[in-house]
Amino acid sequence: MAISRLGRELLIAPSILSADFLRLGEQVREAAEAGADLFHLDMMDGHFVPNLTFGPPVVEGLQKLTSLPLEAHLMVLRPEIYLEDLASARMHRVTVHAEATTHLHYVLGKIGSLGMKAGVAISPATPVGMVEDVLDMIDLVLVMTVNPGFGGQSFITHSLKKVESMRTLLDRAGAAHVRLEVDGGIKAGNISRVADCGADTFVMGSAIFGEKPCETVFGEIRRALTSER
C-alpha cells in the first residue's frame, strides 16, 4: 500500500480465511494486485479454537501463487510441532498465541532457529504485558480485536484502548523493530481509528474477500488512511 501515517509504514495483510477456496489463486492474485503487502494465514486445530482450517501443504501451494511474504497465525495448541514443516514451506513469519503454550520463550527461540521471523498474538482478555519479556525475540505483536476462531466477527471496541496500551509498551521499551498488528473486524470504516491508536499492520478477511471487488476495497482503505482528520 505504501502509506505512512504518524511516521509509521502501514501494511495490509489479507486473511485468506475469508477467501473462496475454490477461487483461491484468483483471489490471492487480485488482492496482491490491489495493494496487499503480505498474506495472513489462519491455522486452526479445533482445540485452541473451535474451528479447523489448513496446514503447511496449503502454504506450499500459496508460495507458487504470490511472491509476497506469508505469515502464519497459529491458533493451535503445541505450536512447536508444526514449526519444521512451516520452515520447509518457506514461511516468512510464524505468530503463536501466548495463551497456547506454557513455554513461549522456548517456542519463539525455535521459530528463530529455523530461520523464520516470530510474532506473539494475544486474545482479547490477555494483558499486553504478556509480550514484555520476549520483545527481543519477535518482530510483531498481534492484538486480537475479536475472539480468535472465525472471520466476519465484530470489532471489540475495548480493543482501541488495548492497542494504545500496546503502543505505549512498545515505545517505552524502545521496540521500534516490533510491528503492532491488529486482527478481527477491521474495515475501511474503522481502520483509521485503529491506526490512530498505534497499529501499523492490519489483518482484513471479510472486508477484502467480501462482496466488493478487491480493488474497490483497497481504494476505500487508502482513502480512509490518507484523508485529513
Ligand X SMILES: O=C(CO)[C@@H](O)[C@H](O)COP(=O)(O)O
| Residues forming beta bridges with residue 203, ordered by sequence position | 13, 183
Which residue among the candidates 37, 42, 45, 200 is catalytic per the annotation? 42
Distance (Å, rounded) from C-alpha 24 to C-alpha 27?
A: 5
Q: β-strands 179-183, 140-144: how paired?
A: parallel
Question: Does the annotation place 61 within a ligand binding site?
Answer: no
CB under 6 A: which stretch of 4-12, 52-60, 81-89, 182-190 binds ligand X?
Answer: 182-190
Binder among 55, 56, 119, 149 for ligand X (CB under 6 A): 149
Rg (CA), the chain: 16
Question: Does the annotation place 189 within a ligand binding site?
Answer: no
> Does 206 participate in binding ligand X (rule CB under 6 A)?
yes
Question: Does the annotation place 151 within a ligand binding site?
Answer: yes
- Say whether 196 is catalytic: no
Distance (Å, rounded) from C-alpha 148 to C-alpha 50?
A: 9
The residue nearest ligand X at its CB is 205
Map residue 23 onto helix, strand or coil.
helix
Question: Does the annotation place 15 within a ligand binding site?
Answer: yes
Binder among 204, 214, 221, 225 for ligand X (CB under 6 A): 204
- In the region spanning residues 8 to 67, those forming contacts with ligand X, defined by CB under 6 A, are 15, 17-18, 40, 42
Residue with cell string 489462519:
42
Residue with cell string 477491521:
186
Phi, psi for residue 49 in degrees, rounded to 5: -130, 155
- Say whether 42 is catalytic: yes
Catalytic residues: 42, 183
Residue ranges that bind ligand X, judged by CB under 6 A: 15, 17-18, 40, 42, 73, 146, 148-153, 183-186, 203-207
